Structure 1
Amino acid sequence: MSRLKVYGAVGGAVALVLIWPLAVGKIGQDAITKLVDNANSSAVSAKVVSYDRGYLSSVVKTEFTVKDPALIQQLKADDIPTSFYVTSDITHGLYSLTAHSKLDDSSKLPLTMDSTTQLNGSTKYKIDLGNWQVTSNNSKEKFTVSTSPSYLSGSIAMSGEATYKLNVPSIELDFASKEKLLISNLTGEGQGKRESGFWLGSHTLKVGKVNADDEKGNSVFSLEGAQYKFNSKLTEKQTRVESHNVLSVEKVKTTDGGNVTDLVFDATLGDIDKQSFGDLMALFQNNQELSQADLEKAIPYVNTLFSKGFYLSIDDFSMKVGEGKFKSDWKFTIPAGTDNVTHNPAVIMTALKGHINSDFSNELVKEYPFMKQTIDGALASKMVQQTQDGYELKAKIEQGNVVFEGGQKIPLMSLFLSGMIQQQSHNHAH
């Protein structure tokens, strides 16, 4: 009897080993199908066209179709397909599936992807782009885009949590006019998860250098050491969203002799109501063009967003221009209880609170004489104060007015109407 039990156990183990690849294939198909479904967005649709599942391997064909009307028009103008078919050769492992995927027409886009999908659906991937060159068929201004071998790698969990790393050594645009744009050392990394229509997590993108040449080969614009950092998170018991953005550039040069260094723009959008913000994001992402019905649907979301309150702060906006310096920080707050803004937008003006601080160095004013007349007028009206190093502007926003440190008070509505008139004059002039 004991010998029969041993034989039975061995037989069961052998049977399990024999059927395991089939189980792995079935579990893998479910996981891969779900991953493809999750790749659908307002800009691109994705679907599995065929899944030929074998014993130890499978072959999957997937179709990706561009849905964005503007992008479709551009792709057609450049004779680039709007639908792409990808063939994946999959091997069934003991605990995972490995896949090598490539475009069916790789001559136009040498793109491949190698991935490993665990049985729980989590996937690690690396996408490689070989040397690529494409020429635009735009009759107005033809250009050629060339890239060096590049890659994008990362992971996607079944929970939706994702990570990525990007490396593009160079992108070059050559125009028929002989003008040229070169972007060098584009890198990026990030992690996070899309939730309620927006991204929670962090990104960092860096560009080593950007250079634009005119038709004679002379540099008309160059930029070095650019970096963009983004971080978004939930606060106040997961009911509010805070988005922090920092753009920094080491050096910018232009053909007219402009020389900007140490540029920093550090901004935060915070205390945003998660639910109404998510509803608005979903509405805009799911509709390329908003209809009247969509706009009416957005009204309660906008009202709730303002009613719950939020703020925008520019914590640091600074730069060096030649020998001169400029530095500023602002904060604008919409307090909770700012109700029915869609019916009465003017309520925003009276509810808005905040401050504006700006500093201009003496060297900056000397370098740009046109600023002197404006500053002299602001000094006379006590909106600007003179300091040992230059000039400073300090003001508070309260009760519908901008109140300067020197006592001058200007209604926000008059500034808004003045800006509208100037914008209309500018549009008519062009």
Structure 2
Amino acid sequence: MSISPSVATGTATVLGQVTFQLNVPSVQLDFENGEQLVINQVSAKGEGKQENGFWLGEQSASMKQFSILDQNHDSLFDIDTIGYTFKSSLNAESDRIDTQHIFDMTQLTYPEGAQLSDLNVDFAMNSLDRSAFEGLVSLYRSNPSLAHADINEIAPLIENLFARGFQVSMNDMHFKIAEEEFKSKWLVEVPEGTENVSRDPSVVLPALQGNMNAYMSQGMALAHPMLAQGVDELVVMDMIKEKDAGYELDANIEGGQLVFENGQQIPLIALFLPLLMGQSMGQ
């Protein structure tokens, strides 16, 4: 393995404020079978501080190229420009924490030339009660599975988190496969005053509020027959509309229901049934 000369710098203050920066121009790993792993232009930077085991500030990392080459130096797998950013901040007045995760990738090329491009995922959790959130983070770090954590410690933290309310949102998610596009954004809010969650989790779904929007190009739907059939059925039911050579879903979330413009409703839990059924079948 060869690593080109790299540079790492940073500062720290007596108040715990930290800055850092790292640059690695290239890394090459040669395998015994003649294949190679090549990584170019890796960088990372950050600014912030640790408070009660949680980072407040901003960190980011990026990589210009990640390639696996065969014995003839032909590409087997390529990633072009990938990045990740984490942001968190504390509102001292309300004692709430906001967090944001952003992942983006210009292009991924895998065997037989198939491509995933223009990927972006922007996920946020906002207005989290500080003491409850930090308590849960601390418990997770000491018990990563949470199965071994003391329920007497978890329950009051969950209660406080939900009682104060918070928001979970996908600010933006989009990608293209062979130039066919999918994009989505949604917001789910747990209103302040949602109580008794640890004793009766069923109170959560009826309390949820928010909205959901998704778009899929016709080509992406047609490439997956079962998906296309489901989309066609929703178009007939006027829950999905044809728009810009594709299909758009737009709905509000009220009382645990997806509420469409035409007044029709479906339970929010219906979105998760395929996943839950898949898990049960796999057990």
TM-score (norm 2): 0.89
Corresponding position of 2:165: 309
Q: Is 1:423 aligned with 2:254?
A: no
Given that residues 169 and 188 in structure 2 are in contact (C-alpha distance below 8 angstroms), is that contact kept between their aligned partners in structure 1?
Answer: yes
User: Judging changes above 3 Å, is the alpha-carbon distance between structure 1 residues 323 and 368 closer, same or farther for their aligned structure 2 residues?
Assistant: farther
Three-state SS of the structure 2 residue aligned to 1:402 is strand
User: Judging changes above 3 Å, is the alpha-carbon distance between structure 1 residues 235 and 367 closer, same or farther for their aligned structure 2 residues?
Assistant: same
Q: Is 1:157 aligned with 2:13?
A: yes
What is the rounded CA distance, in whole Å, between the counterparts of 2:181 and 2:273 in structure 1?
31
- Superposition pairs for residues 180-219 of structure 1, below 5 Å? 180-213=36-69, 217-219=73-75
Q: CA deviation at 1:192?
A: 0.2
Instruction: Identify which of 240, 250, 257 aligns with 2:113.
Output: 257
Q: CA deviation at 1:287?
A: 4.3
Instruction: Identify which of 349, 353, 356 aligns with 2:205.
Output: 349
Ranked by relative contact order (alpha carbons within 8 Å, sequence separation 6 or more), the top structure is 2
Corresponding position of 1:28: none
Given that residues 164 and 190 in structure 1 are in contact (C-alpha distance below 8 angstroms), is that contact kept between their aligned partners in structure 2?
Answer: yes
Corresponding position of 2:182: 326
Corresponding position of 2:196: 340
Q: CA deviation at 1:336?
A: 0.8
Q: Is 1:408 aligned with 2:264?
A: yes
What is the rounded CA distance, in whole Å, between the counterparts of 2:147 and 2:216 in structure 1?
46
User: Judging changes above 3 Å, is the alpha-carbon distance between structure 1 residues 424 and 183 closer, same or farther for their aligned structure 2 residues?
Assistant: farther
Three-state SS of the structure 1 residue aligned to 2:263 is coil
RMSD: 2.4
Q: CA deviation at 1:407?
A: 3.5
Q: Is 1:169 aligned with 2:25?
A: yes
Instruction: Identify which of 68, 84, 107 aligns with 1:228.
Output: 84
Three-state SS of the structure 1 residue aligned to 2:189 is strand
Q: CA deviation at 1:156?
A: 1.2
Larger proportion of strand? 2
The one-letter code of the counterpart of 1:393 is L
Cα deviations across residues 88-124 of structure 1 (Å, max 9, x unaligned)? xxxxxxxxxxxxxxxxxxxxxxxxxxxxxxxxxxxxx
Three-state SS of the structure 2 residue aligned to 1:259 is strand
Q: CA deviation at 1:196?
A: 2.0
Q: CA deviation at 1:226?
A: 1.3
User: Judging changes above 3 Å, is the alpha-carbon distance between structure 1 residues 400 and 371 closer, same or farther for their aligned structure 2 residues?
Assistant: closer
Corresponding position of 1:296: 152
What is the rounded CA distance, in whole Å, between the counterparts of 1:291 and 1:384 in structure 2?
40
User: Judging changes above 3 Å, is the alpha-carbon distance between structure 1 residues 349 and 164 closer, same or farther for their aligned structure 2 residues?
Assistant: same
Q: CA deviation at 1:245?
A: 2.0
Cα deviations across residues 21-80 of structure 1 (Å, max 9, x unaligned)? xxxxxxxxxxxxxxxxxxxxxxxxxxxxxxxxxxxxxxxxxxxxxxxxxxxxxxxxxxxx
Three-state SS of the structure 1 residue aligned to 2:249 is strand
User: Judging changes above 3 Å, is the alpha-carbon distance between structure 1 residues 368 and 174 closer, same or farther for their aligned structure 2 residues?
Assistant: farther
Cα deviations across residues 263-301 of structure 1 (Å, max 9, x unaligned)? 211122100011111112222224456575633212111
Given that residues 96 and 127 in structure 2 are in contact (C-alpha distance below 8 angstroms), is that contact kept between their aligned partners in structure 1?
Answer: yes
Q: CA deviation at 1:374?
A: 2.7
- Superposition pairs for residues 105-116 of structure 1, below 5 Å? none
How many aligned residue pairs are there? 283
Q: CA deviation at 1:393?
A: 0.6
The one-letter code of the counterpart of 1:167 is N
Given that residues 217 and 245 in structure 2 are in contact (C-alpha distance below 8 angstroms), is that contact kept between their aligned partners in structure 1?
Answer: yes
Corresponding position of 2:135: 279
Three-state SS of the structure 2 residue aligned to 1:340 is coil
Q: CA deviation at 1:308?
A: 0.8
Three-state SS of the structure 1 residue aligned to 2:201 is coil
Q: CA deviation at 1:234?
A: 1.1
Instruction: Identify which of 92, 96, 99 aligns with 1:243.
Output: 99
Given that residues 24 and 43 in structure 2 are in contact (C-alpha distance below 8 angstroms), is that contact kept between their aligned partners in structure 1?
Answer: yes
Q: CA deviation at 1:385?
A: 1.0
Given that residues 27 and 38 in structure 2 are in contact (C-alpha distance below 8 angstroms), is that contact kept between their aligned partners in structure 1?
Answer: yes
The one-letter code of the counterpart of 1:188 is A
The one-letter code of the counterpart of 2:119 is L
Given that residues 280 and 298 in structure 1 are in contact (C-alpha distance below 8 angstroms), is that contact kept between their aligned partners in structure 2?
Answer: yes
Larger Rg: 1
The runs of 5 or more residues in structure 2 that have no matched partner are: none
The runs of 5 or more residues in structure 1 that have no matched partner are: 1-132, 134-145
Q: Is 1:267 aligned with 2:123?
A: yes
Q: Is 1:362 aligned with 2:218?
A: yes
What is the rounded CA distance, in whole Å, between the counterparts of 2:149 and 2:214 in structure 1?
43
The one-letter code of the counterpart of 1:357 is N
What is the rounded CA distance, in whole Å, between the counterparts of 2:280 and 2:70 in structure 1?
33
Instruction: Identify which of 212, 225, 238 aligns with 1:382.
Output: 238
- Counting aligned pairs with the same residue, the percent is 34
Q: CA deviation at 1:241?
A: 0.5
Three-state SS of the structure 2 residue aligned to 1:349 is helix
Three-state SS of the structure 2 residue aligned to 1:346 is helix
